[in-house]
Structure 1
Amino acid sequence: MSITEIERLVPTLEMPRTIRIYRPTELPADEALPVIYMHDGQNVFSGETASFGKGWEVHHALHTVQLHAMIVAIDSPDDGMDRYDEYAPWTDEALLMRTAYPSHRKTIGGNGKQYMHWIVHELKPYIDAQYATIPTDTTMIGSSMGGVISLYGLFAYPEVFTRVAALSTAGWANFSSLLEFIERSPGLSEDHRCYMDVGTKEVSGPMTENDYLHTNEVLAKAVQKKVQQAAYEIIPGAVHHETEWAKRMPDILRFLFSS
């Protein structure tokens, strides 16, 4: 596996962030490929860099389904609270009581819009200029809070992201704001695809299985009213962990890229 690492300044924290770029080495460098942007980039490939010792091994999933695509994986902030800030489009005082991290902050979140603007207007143009890509074929995938910001990205920039997968979305974060944003958004074109899922044994911090199941069901129903090609899966026994997301990736990619 060959991964190119670059550093870029993400404006939300004004500090360099590692971006890991994977392009199948067996393909010609001038072959234009679709691009998949992923959050929590340190967890996307190898367990050596993953936060909890296990990676998604997404490059293996690409080969399993024989999908020719590039991966652009953006590392999340080292600090868990900064990650909530960056992946939550709206400030949410309720997050303080729901996160798994103790904090003396009065609010959390609100940097997600700026983060997504940076991806669309700075990172994507750079990637399209430096590599052979199909600029109109862009996907975004995230899990947990990465699912929150991915769903936001789909409806904030439908002209950019034609495919989105939100795995085990932390739907309790920014729940009311995200739901209202989706409900007020226009319906997307028949070319858009959205995959969502949640396990029956997902917990994080004080959030229970029922919190995950309920919020994901409500959000998924709202998405299905706006996206013609939308899927929502409830995974029996699945917990909130990278190993579970790695198992599901081949089927997710098949759905997103099926003709």
Structure 2
Amino acid sequence: APSRKGDDYLRFLLQELKPMVDEKWRTDPERSCIAGSSMGGLISFYAAWKHPEVFSGAACLSPAFVERYGSECFRMVEADREHLPDLDLFLSCGGAAGLEAELLDGTLKMADRLKSAGFPESRLTVRIESWAEHNEEAWARMTPHWLRFLFARPQRTQPDPGTGGRS
């Protein structure tokens, strides 16, 4: 896991927050995504990858795919090559100086790792914006892009349980 605290946070999401949301509002498992920026982008990737039955996609903005924190995510992709999860992934990062420039390298490496593992390119968007810095303003400007990618696409269809998956 990214960290013990990361697993604690994921447990909170799965066992407390998501059930409460599902009970209060009409949710659709095919349209339940997770999004975050920086360390939140990292945990969003981790959560969706580990639990595609809960999260059908993730928006990972300036994700912390750096050795210190993100190495487990790279290991998961490598380990799951034969059984990739069924989800949509939106990765974005800026190219401005400072922390964002450091995170850009990890974002590009993760995109390459996903592609080399056979993750479907139609299920992956990688958006690099040279102007973007590591801040809420940049992440807010990315919101329409990831919302469109994760939610404006045709809904995936589930096989009819009565036909055993046959049409």
| TM-score range normalised by the length of the shorter chain | 0.7 to 0.9
Kindly name which structure, 1 or 2, has the bigger radius of gyration based on alpha carbons. 1
Counting helix residues as a fraction of each chain, which structure ranks higher? 2
Q: Distance in 1 between matches of 2:149 and 2:97?
A: 23
Could you tell me which residue of structure 1 aligns to residue 63 of structure 2?
A: 169
CA-atom RMSD, angstroms? 1.8
Relative contact order: is structure 1 or structure 2 higher (C-alpha 8 Å, sep ≥ 6)? 2
Could you tell me which residue of structure 1 aligns to residue 32 of structure 2?
A: 138
Could you tell me which residue of structure 2 aligns to residue 21 of structure 1?
A: none
Could you tell me which residue of structure 2 aligns to residue 197 of structure 1?
A: 92
Q: Distance in 1 between matches of 2:28 and 2:149?
A: 19
Number of aligned residues:
147
Could you tell me which residue of structure 2 aligns to residue 215 of structure 1?
A: 106
- Offset of 1:143 from its aligned partner? 0.5
Q: Distance in 2 between matches of 1:116 and 1:132?
A: 22
SS in 2 for 1:164: strand
- Identity across aligned pairs (percent)? 29
1:137 and 1:236, CA in 2 relative to 1: closer, same or farther beyond 3 A?
same
Please list every run of 5 or more consecutive structure 1 residues that lacks an aligned counterpart in the other structure: 1-88, 91-108
SS in 1 for 2:127: strand
Question: What TM-score, normalized by structure 1, do the two folds share?
Answer: 0.53
Could you list the per-position Cα deviations for residues 65-114 of structure 1 after superposition, in whole angstroms to 9, with x for gaps in the alignment?
xxxxxxxxxxxxxxxxxxxxxxxx33xxxxxxxxxxxxxxxxxx421112
Matching residue's letter, 1:198: C
Q: Distance in 1 between matches of 2:119 and 2:54?
A: 15
Structure 1 stretches of 4+ with a deviation exceeding 4 A read: none
Question: What TM-score, normalized by structure 2, do the two folds share?
Answer: 0.79
Counting strand residues as a fraction of each chain, which structure ranks higher? 1
Please list every run of 5 or more consecutive structure 2 residues that lacks an aligned counterpart in the other structure: 155-167
Task: Map 1:1-259 onto structure 2 (within 5 A).
Answer: 89-90=1-2, 109-172=3-66, 173-185=68-80, 186-189=83-86, 192-204=87-99, 209=101, 211-224=102-115, 225=117, 227-228=119-120, 229-257=123-151, 258-259=153-154
